[in-house]
Amino acid sequence: MKFTFAHNNLNVLDLEKSIAFYQQALGLKESKRITASDGSFTLVFLGDSVTPHLLELTWLRDRTEPYDLGENEFHLAFETEDFEEAYKHHRDMGCICFENKEMGIYFISDPDGYWLEILPKGK
């Protein structure tokens, strides 16, 4: 039996704000959208146009409270070939939330507080 990754899910409070963040910060593009017939939820799948892996953003109409991320000890990681340029871009966006210069990585935070690791390609 073999399994392959399909997607990761993050629940978000403001779907359009989150889509804009992922497009601006990471260049992800919407590849699919599913909206419930009663409008109670919308799923938006974002991809990097290189790998088949997708990020699913879930918006729930009746959710008004921020999500409890616990100690935020989980994250998604993204590689980039131009680490220094990415760092400058994220610094200018004001979304860098943690740096580990010794390891040569940093984290950005999305509008809902999810952490995203940025690392040089091949690290």
In sequence order, what E strands does the chain have?
7-12, 29-35, 41-47, 54-60, 76-80, 96-100, 105-109, 115-120
Question: How many CA atoms within 13 Å lie on the side-chain side of 14?
Answer: 10
Q: Is 52 exposed, middle or buried (0-12, 13-18, 19+ CB in 10 A)?
A: exposed
Active site residue 117: yes
Catalytic residue among 56, 79, 99, 117: 117
Instruction: List active site positions.
Output: 117
